[in-house]
């Protein structure tokens, strides 16, 4: 009986940890509530690290439109987004563009392995207000 209770408690703890980590959440969210963006998925992250700098590009898509995000980070303790921009296109035509700001950043990777980057970022309207929220899971940066 005690063993079964311990197993059930361990399973509940695992479910809570997974739920708290944001697994299954939307990669991008419309902060105005105008659009349901739940079909958008992260297609990949590419970039290069040069010492204490990381330049990365993420592509998020629902197959009918593409959100491209260009990010430049200063690697340190903590790692910070130094600049970033986003471009939303549909059928090759620009729909929206803007700058971005960091809410949180996670950087993993030493000098001997590929870097990984993730975090939460606000995609800003031309007026400077948060229009979309990008929740980028920690992802290995491909060259």
Q: What is the pLDDT of residues 20-66, one digit of tens each?
A: 444 458 999 999 999 999 999 999 999 999 999 999 999 999 989 99
Predicted pLDDT at 98: 97
Helix then strand count (H, E) for the chain reads: 1, 8
Spatial distance between the Cα atoms of 44 and 36, rounded to a whole number of angstroms: 21
Predicted pLDDT at 4: 43
Predicted pLDDT at 92: 80
Predicted pLDDT at 93: 85
């Amino acid at each position: 009986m005690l063993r079964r209770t311990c197993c059930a408690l361990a399973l509940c703890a695992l479910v809570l940890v997974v739920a708290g980590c944001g697994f299954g959440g939307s990669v991008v969210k419309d902060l105005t509530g105008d659009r349901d963006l739940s079909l958008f998925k992260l297609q990949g992250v590419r970039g290069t690290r040069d010492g204490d700098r990381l330049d990365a590009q993420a592509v998020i898509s629902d197959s009918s439109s593409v959100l491209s995000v260009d990010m430049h980070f200063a690697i340190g303790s903590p790692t910070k987004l130094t600049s970033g921009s986003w471009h939303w296109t549909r059928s090759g035509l620009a729909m929206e563009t803007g700058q971005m700001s960091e809410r949180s950043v996670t950087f993993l990777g030493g000098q001997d392995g590929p870097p990984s980057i993730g975090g939460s970022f606000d995609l800003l309207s031309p007026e400077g207000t948060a229009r979309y929220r990008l929740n980028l899971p920690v992802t290995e940066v491909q060259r």
